[in-house]
Structure 1
Amino acid sequence: MASLVTHFATFLFLCPMGIRRLVSSFSLYLKNPCLYRSKTWYFSEPKWKNFDCYTLLIALPIASFSDLFIFLSFSGHPTHRFAFLQQSALVSLFWVLVILIICRENFDPFSIPENFIFIFAGILFLIEYMLMGEGITGLGGVVYDLLGGLTLVCAACCLYLSIRPAVFFSEFLLSSGLVFKGTWALQTGLSLYTDTFALKGCDKIALSPAQGKTDVKCDLDEDRLRGIALMNLLFIGHAIVVLIVSLVLFGLLCHHRNLRSVEASGPLLAQLESDSMLMQAFPEFEIE
């Protein structure tokens, strides 16, 4: 149950963050593509609109303390017991990342270079990738490998943005990757840690006390292969949905921007057309 809660909390953290980054980066890029530059966090005015960032500032230490409490009270295999300690430390590092972003925004922005924050975020994603799915084999290992691939994409984008912050495609991959990572984390929690959404012919993920390994128990090898194929298909489905959502958001923002441009230029165009008609009707008043 703790793992299901962890995956659901990851979904709640990453999806809104990714969607907000998509909307903010799209808006900034459409204003002037030539002057676009990615930001570690897209703060907005008034301050209360940045509640998602300050929510992370409060929620992340609570999540870290929860993992630490499970580590202290967990009496299972040492491999899985220390996994909660590692997760607690990783969440604490992401909390430090949020603190750095907020400090840079509220104090001297030159005291903490923006590229340093991107590098720090990239390193954290790499650490998360190395710890992800540790001790999980079989069908569960395949699912976590897919989640690890998304983590690597986020890490690569952060490291590249630290060097080339003006590359919009990297920002698009990072923001979409966060949304994708959030939805796939939820899918992982539902498919591997619940009986209701478990794969056909397979039980939810279980611990092997003797070996300290975790795997999804399937009745037949065919059920395991079918489960792997189904999870790969679901992964492609998640990718298509995230891509469609990203393109729809970009199209809506483009349409909204075009409407504002038309509203701004409409009266001016009407005045120009009126002046042109007057010049044609009374050519003798034309200034030479």
Structure 2
Amino acid sequence: MASLATHLSAFLFLFPVGLRRLLFSSSLYLKNPSLYRSKTWYFSEPRWKNIDFYALIIALPIASFSEIFIFLTFSGHPTYRFSFFQQSLTLFLFWVLIILVIFREHTDPLLINEGFVFLVAGISFLVEYSVIGKGITGVFGAVYDLLGALTLLCAGCCLYLSIKPSAFFAEFLLSAGLVFKGTWVLQTGLSLYTDVFGLKGCRKMSILTAKGNADVQCDLEEDGLRGVSLMNLLFTGHAILVLVVSIVSFGLLSCNRNLRCGEASGPLLAELESETTPMRALPELEMD
């Protein structure tokens, strides 16, 4: 999380993935709520439409190895170098998660249970939480605390879905949380790592101490306190905006079937219906 480019890259991955998941899961739920089960990934046909999934397969290991390279070559304080290694491990865990999704799609689903994949996802988010804002001190550590709270939300939703995949509210919160996390990552990058969009009376993030800690340097203590209040206000604004977008999207999908996405009418629904067909046919047979 050490530059604007890193935050922008995170936004470009998190926001589309969260929005896509929100639309696909809502479409599937509205098609038949009684058959709904959350999926580790919502694939669509034709396969080339899953460009975000393939982009993650390529980009995550590259980003992980880049963090390792910085870890090996960075000449700063050992504590600061170690944070690069932790970030690399986090990216690698999410890449392993993507690989598990691939294996589950192309092998017997009984070999890799969806609950296990969600469990790995929850653990990955918890590991990410442990490294978010590491080495950032001072008044603007609160900005990364908010980002950490969103990560904990995603982790909690994944762990709950690993136990109860039919819980749509957890899927809805996970999807909205990913969208929210994406927008807040971008806001954090713009506010802390640029002078143009920075806070009044404060300069962009820099390493300030010999221990490798970092903070946003403000001219006056009042500027720092005002900055924290402004970031809290922006966080509330982001939360309201994401909530409104999520509810409006769900409402539009419920009112207009033509807007529903992907698997709501594709192979996933057919698979779920085939699993419940014997259970439905049994009462009819007994009545005859």
Aligned-residue offset at 1:258: 8.0
Aligned-partner SS, 2:205: strand
The correspondence of residues 56-95 of structure 1 with structure 2, limited to 5 A, is: 56-95=56-95
* Structure number with higher relative contact order (C-alpha < 8 Å, ≥ 6 residues apart): 2
Highest Rg: 1 or 2? 1
The correspondence of residues 1-288 of structure 1 with structure 2, limited to 5 A, is: 3-257=3-257
Gapped runs of 5+ residues in structure 2?
Answer: 261-288
Aligned-residue offset at 1:123: 0.6
Aligned-residue offset at 1:197: 1.2
Equivalent residue, structure 1, for 2:272 = none
Letter in 1 for 2:202: C
1:184-209 CA-partner distances (Å, limit 9, x unpaired): 01111111111111110011111124
Alpha-carbon distance change, 10 to 258 in structure 1, aligned in 2, over 3 angstroms: closer
Alpha-carbon distance change, 251 to 217 in structure 1, aligned in 2, over 3 angstroms: same
Letter in 2 for 1:96: V
Aligned-residue offset at 1:46: 1.6
Alpha-carbon distance change, 259 to 230 in structure 1, aligned in 2, over 3 angstroms: closer
Letter in 1 for 2:219: D
Matched residue count: 260
Alpha-carbon distance change, 76 to 21 in structure 1, aligned in 2, over 3 angstroms: same
Alpha-carbon distance change, 101 to 259 in structure 1, aligned in 2, over 3 angstroms: closer
Alpha-carbon distance change, 34 to 227 in structure 1, aligned in 2, over 3 angstroms: same
Matches of 2:97 and 2:253, distance apart in 1: 29
What TM-score do you get using the length of structure 1 for normalisation?
0.87
Aligned-partner SS, 1:178: helix
* Contact 1:77–1:209 (Cα < 8 Å) also in 2: no
Structure 1 moving runs of 4+ over 6 Å = none
Matches of 2:105 and 2:47, distance apart in 1: 11
Matches of 1:49 and 1:217, distance apart in 2: 44
Equivalent residue, structure 2, for 1:270 = none
Aligned-residue offset at 1:182: 0.7
* Contact 2:79–2:211 (Cα < 8 Å) also in 1: no
Letter in 1 for 2:122: G
Equivalent residue, structure 1, for 2:277 = none
Matches of 2:122 and 2:239, distance apart in 1: 22
- Kindly report the root-mean-square deviation, in angstroms, between the aligned alpha carbons of the 2 structures: 1.6
What TM-score do you get using the length of structure 2 for normalisation?
0.87
